[in-house]
Amino acid sequence: MDRTTIDLWVGIFVALGVAALLGLAMKVGNLTTSNIGETYMVEAAFENIGGLKPRAPVKSAGVVVGRVEGIRFDTVTYEAIVSLNVDKSYQFPADTFANIYTAGLLGEQYIGLEAGGDEEVLKNGDKIAHTQDAVVLEKMISQFLYNKASEPAPATAVPAESTKTEDDALTENPLDDLVN
C-alpha cells in the first residue's frame, strides 16, 4: 500500500472513533431518547435535589413516563422547583408522590412517581404536593461519622479483685499452676 491509502484509512478510523465517542456522549447525556409524545407540565418542590439534572428521566414502576424540563430556585421558599414533562398518555392522580432516586449506587438521579388513590388527575400546570428529597451519600456518611464520634467511649473492663479466702489458699495445690 502506498502512503496516501494508509493515510486515508487512518483518517476513516479516526472519524469513526470520534463519531462513536460523540454518540456515547449523547447517550450518556440523555440527549438521544425522546420517544415521548405530547406532554403536560407539572411542578414539584424539593428541599434538596442532589445531582438531578434537566432531561433526567421521570419514571413510574420503572417505565419512563416523562423528562425533567427544568430546575429553578425559589427565593421565597428556598426550595428547588422541578418542572416535569409527563406524557399525556399517562394520567396520574392528584395525590401522586414525587421522589428523587439514584439508579444504582453512584448512577444518575431520576424522578420516581408513585400514584396515589385520588379520583382527580394531575393537569397541565398542577403542583405535586408530596415530595421526597434526594438521598445525598456525602450527607449520610457525615451524619454517620458525627454520630459515631458523639457516642460515649465504651467502658474498659476493670479486673475484679481476688476473693480468695485463707481456706482456699490452703486447699489449692501449688503444683496445679505448674501443670497448667
**CB-CB contact of 86 with 65 (8 Å):** yes
Smallest CA-to-CA distance from 72 within 62, 82, 58 is with: 82
State what percent of residues in the chain have pLDDT above 90.
49
What pLDDT, in 10s, does the model give residues 90-103?
A: 999 999 999 999 88
User: In the numeric block, which cell numbers belong to residue 5?
Assistant: 491509502
**CB-CB contact of 87 with 37 (8 Å):** yes
For the cut 70, the answer to whether the pLDDT of residue 60 exceeds it is yes
User: In the numeric block, which cell numbers belong to residue 141?
Assistant: 456518611
The pLDDT of residue 72 is 95
Residue count (the chain): 180
Q: What is the mean pLDDT of residues 146-170?
A: 66
Its pTM stands at 0.62
